[in-house]
Amino acid sequence: MATAFQKVYTKITQITKATCTLRATGVGNDELAVVDGRLAQVVKIWGNDITLQVFSGTEGIPTNAEVTFLGKAPTLKVGDELCGRFFNAFGEPIDGGPAVDGEEREIGGPSVNPVRRKQPSELIATGIAGIDLNNTLVSGQKIPFFADPDQPYNQVMANVALRAETDRIILGGMGLTNDDYLYFKNLFDNAGVLDRIVSFVNTTEAPPVERLLVPDMALTAAEYFAVDKNEKVLVLLTDMTLYADALSIVSNRMDQIPSKDSMPGSLYSDLAKIYEKAVQFPEGGSITIIAVTTLSGGDITHAIPDNTGYITEGQLFLRKDTEIGKVIVDPFRSLSRLKQLVIGKKTRKDHPQVMNAAIRLYADAANARTKMENGFDLTDYDRRALAFAKDYSNDLLAIDVNISTDEMLDTAWRLFRKYFTRSELGIKKEIADEYGHFED
């Protein structure tokens, strides 16, 4: 990759597992370099001592390795040719196809001026009632699945991506197992939508530090389609926990003082820089981010899900409901912060009240279940609430549901009528009159 007139350095003074340091002049911050044929990036300049983060690791690098600086930050060549292709973390094809020719853009570019953003207002329908009814998604939103590693988060995310009406889907895979990589590849192929999709994939076979480039690569491609082409772009990032783990590896090698859960003190800003790329542009283009943050043992107080929750506009929790034997979108712990912008406005007027009433009744059922488990007698109301909860879970919360929002609302009213009286719902009178169809 070195050209003739570039200065070649051959004296590395320090090597750690992820970084190496050498003396050099005229080097810029964030600049790319090639160390012994491997791509690296400047992460610290101390006088003439330059510290490089070597993406693929430093195994076998000698102190006299050749180092050249490329004079630029990491870039991606953008263009319509990206579509239907699979790339690695450096933006190089891994599908056997030719290299993409296009305009070269620096990744990790500047932020959108907040006053130039438009308020997100377009509903993204997925057919899954646990999402559309209770946690409606909006274009320009950023939202992760919080899921334990054994849950089918990649499948649900892929389903959402294929059902959502978007112009472009960008997949950023970090630490994907080869099986999952092939799952996505086959799924997109079979759905006949491959030409809408661009994928940047770092599999578990590749070194972990490389995956630090994946979100920026994916989002640079997303910005090309959303800004230059005014397209509605959906970005899928899986798994952000593995991304954060890679951050902690690098900061650790650089002797930074770790903060909570041995994560770098800048974790919040690092994650925010990625997630905040989600935006509704005034010209109609948008970037929506759906991510996956895997939890360990459902612990959301860990630094990664915790910081993520503060950045993203809600989160979607998957949970196995043992009573109906299906995976559901947990209505208590899931939240879409932007749903207020569309529910009852882009959807039917009774949507907000129906949603809240159903969740409240579901909570009553949870209390009744606790009572039952503790061996107490149940009241008539308790029994009705429990029966309602089972139907609600099966007919609406389960992830295999695929119906329109109006049908979801009608289903909810049907269950309300079946199990409860008007006054037990606590719904605004005019709404109940118009949509409730109660006999009394």
* Subset of residues 108 to 147 that bind another protein, contact rule: CB under 8 A: 109-120, 140-141
Q: Which stretch binds another protein (CB under 8 A): 60-68, 88-96, 124-132, 336-344?
A: 336-344
387 binds another protein (CB under 8 A): no
Task: Find out whether 262 and 326 touch, Cβ atoms under 8 Å.
Answer: no
* 3 vs 374 by CB, closer to another protein: 374
Q: Is 279 in the site for another protein (CB under 8 A)?
A: yes
Q: How far is the CA of 356 from the CAs of 135, 145, 353, 359, in angstroms?
A: 11, 21, 5, 5
Instruction: Compute the least distance from the CB of residue 343 to another protein, in Å.
Output: 10
Residue 398 is classified by DSSP as: B
Q: How many residues bind another protein (CB under 8 A)?
A: 85
Instruction: List the x/- string, 40-69, binding to another protein by CB under 8 A.
Output: ---xxxxxx---------------------
User: Which residues from 399-438 bind another protein, rule CB under 8 A?
Assistant: 423-424, 426, 428-429
Is position 269 an interface residue for another protein (rule: CB under 8 A)?
Answer: yes
Strands in 209-334 per DSSP E: 232-238, 279-280, 286-294, 314-321, 326-329
Q: Is 168 in the site for another protein (CB under 8 A)?
A: no
Single out the segment in contact with another protein by CB under 8 A; choices: 26-34, 78-86, 288-296, 411-419.
26-34
Among residues 6, 10, 13, 29, which is the contact residue for another protein, using CB under 8 A? 29
**Residue 283, SS3 per DSSP:** coil
Q: Are strands 67-69 and 8-9 parallel, antiparallel or unpaired?
A: antiparallel
Inter-CA distances, 308 with 159, 271, 326, 335, Å: 23, 7, 27, 13
Among 1, 7, 11, 28, binds another protein (CB under 8 A): 28
Q: CB atoms < 10 A from the CB of 413, how many?
A: 21
- Work out how close the CB of 184 gets to another protein at its nearest, in angstroms, rounded to a whole number: 28
* CB contact at 8 A, 345 and 339: no
Cα 159 to Cα 189: distance, rounded to the nearest angstrom:
14
Residue 103 Cβ, how far from another protein at the closest point, in Å?
16
Nearest Cα neighbor of 81 from 171, 214, 230, 195 is: 195
Interaction between residue 83 and another protein (CB under 8 A): no
Site for another protein in 315-334 (CB under 8 A): 315, 332-333
Q: Min. distance of Cβ 179 from another protein in angstroms?
A: 32
Cβ nearer to another protein, comparing 229 with 428 = 428
- The CA distance from 31 to 244, in Å, is 22
Q: CA-based angle 388:394:399, to the nearest 5?
A: 140
Does position 253 bind another protein by CB under 8 A? no
Q: Does 296 bind another protein (CB under 8 A)?
A: no
Q: Shortest approach of another protein to residue 9 CB, angstroms? A: 15
Q: Using CB under 8 A, which of the segments 179-187, 238-246, 256-264, 321-329 binds another protein?
A: 256-264
Question: Site for another protein (CB under 8 A): which residue of 17, 23, 260, 414?
Answer: 260
For residue 22, what are the β-bridge partners? 12, 50
State how beta strands 103-106 and 67-69 pair: unpaired
State the nearest-atom distance from the C-beta of 214 to another protein, in Å.
18
Which stretch in 78-86, 107-115, 290-298, 387-395 sits in contact with another protein by CB under 8 A?
Answer: 107-115
The residue within the footprint of another protein, chosen from 373, 377, 439, 440 (CB under 8 A), is: 377
Output the six-digit token pair for 171.
Answer: 């997949």
Phi, psi for residue 314 in degrees, rounded to 5: 105, -175
CA distance 348 to 350: 6
Please tell me the distance from the alpha carbon of residue 159 to that of residue 162, in angstroms, as a whole number: 5
Out of 36, 68, 268, 410, point to the residue binding another protein (CB under 8 A). Answer: 268
